[in-house]
Amino acid sequence: MSKKGSKVAIIGAGFVGASAAYAMAIQQLCNELVLIDVNREKAIGEAEDISHALAFLGQMEIRAGDWPDVRDCDVIVITAGANRKPGETRLDLAKKNVAIAKDITANIMAHYNTGVLLVVANPVDILTYKIARWSGLPKGRVLGTGTVLDSLRFRYLLSRHFDVDVKNIHGYIIGEHGDSQIPAWSATHIAGLSIEEYCHTSGIAFTDAERAAILANTKTAGASIIKNKGATYYAIGITIVTLVETLLKDQNTIRTVGSVIDGPHGIHDVVLSLPSVVSRHGVEKVLELNLTETEIEGLKASAAAVKSVLDEVRDL
């Protein structure tokens, strides 16, 4: 059970923030949930809409709030940010959302007294790095959703390919939450067997072309959903709730969250996603997988891609 008096604030009551709040209410994950948005009426509406179902769910306080309400929060979730518009580059979006995130961080820290900051807004690796620096919080106290959702998509696609329950598949997408992300094939298993061992045991083939297709579909899954319905919010909402549960319940769960990396695989001073032990304090430990040389090269290229954007927004 989550601890008595647990409190969560969600900054941003758009599709993602509202979906996370809705899922959090269904799971009765915390005692108090506060929605904070620049459009206060939107936050009030979302809080009321979810609250009206509490008779079927249980006891929980869900309300709209303001910056002073981040005090005493166990987790502060940052989903607020601009969406990428047609014709905008990734760097354009980064500059826009870095400015928004800087203002949000200042407002949070003016009232902050405890809790973990969970960054969701994109580009999540850039914003996680900047917020970690601006906040001045201890190492690991600021983390991003990183490639947690990418890893879920990866596992889902593998389960469809091999016709195996997704719960029996373990695999990670690591690096950037973006185009340079890579699959850690050497750490991917089905029922404890490596992909190669599983294929050999089952008498099936898994070609390089099939691997490439699964990676491509993992990378483009979000864009495909946006093309079809305009935005993605259900899966990331559930991802947020799962991470908040890990934090509130001090589960020491291993997730591919993003945090400031300083040492693993010779990579320093950049936010990347690697399997990490997550407790109520945030990231306790970043695990250094036994990757192949090719995977390490891919991870370092991913770090360089993130750093190139960081360099462009360094002074913002």
Q: Is the pLDDT of residue 243 over 80?
A: yes
As a whole number of Å, the end-to-end CA separation of the chain is 41
Model pLDDT for residues 2-46, shown as the tens digit of each residue: 445 899 999 999 999 999 999 999 999 999 999 999 999 999 999
Predicted structure pTM score: 0.95
Q: How far is CA 182 from CA 7, 70, 172, 241, 294, in A?
A: 35, 35, 9, 25, 10
- Residues belonging to the active site: 177
Closest CA to 9 of 66, 101, 73: 73
Q: What is the largest CA-CA distance in the chain?
A: 60
Which domains can be identified in the chain, with CATH numbers? 7-144 (3.40.50.720), 148-312 (3.90.110.10)
**Separation of alpha carbons 300 and 285, rounded Å:** 20
What region does 38 belong to: left with phi over 0, alpha with psi -120 to 50, or beta?
A: alpha
Amino acid at 170: H
**Separation of alpha carbons 102 and 37, rounded Å:** 15
- Residue 136 has what DSSP assignment? -
**Separation of alpha carbons 301 and 219, rounded Å:** 16
- Report percent pLDDT > 90 for the chain: 91
- Residue 194 has what DSSP assignment? E
Residues 177 and 305: beta-carbon distance below 8 Å: no
Contacts of 103 (CB under 8 A, 6+ apart): none
Q: Please tell me whether residue 199 adopts helix, strand or coil conformation.
A: helix
Model pLDDT for residues 90-109, shown as the tens digit of each residue: 778 899 999 999 999 999 99
**Separation of alpha carbons 118 and 247, rounded Å:** 10
pLDDT at 3: 44
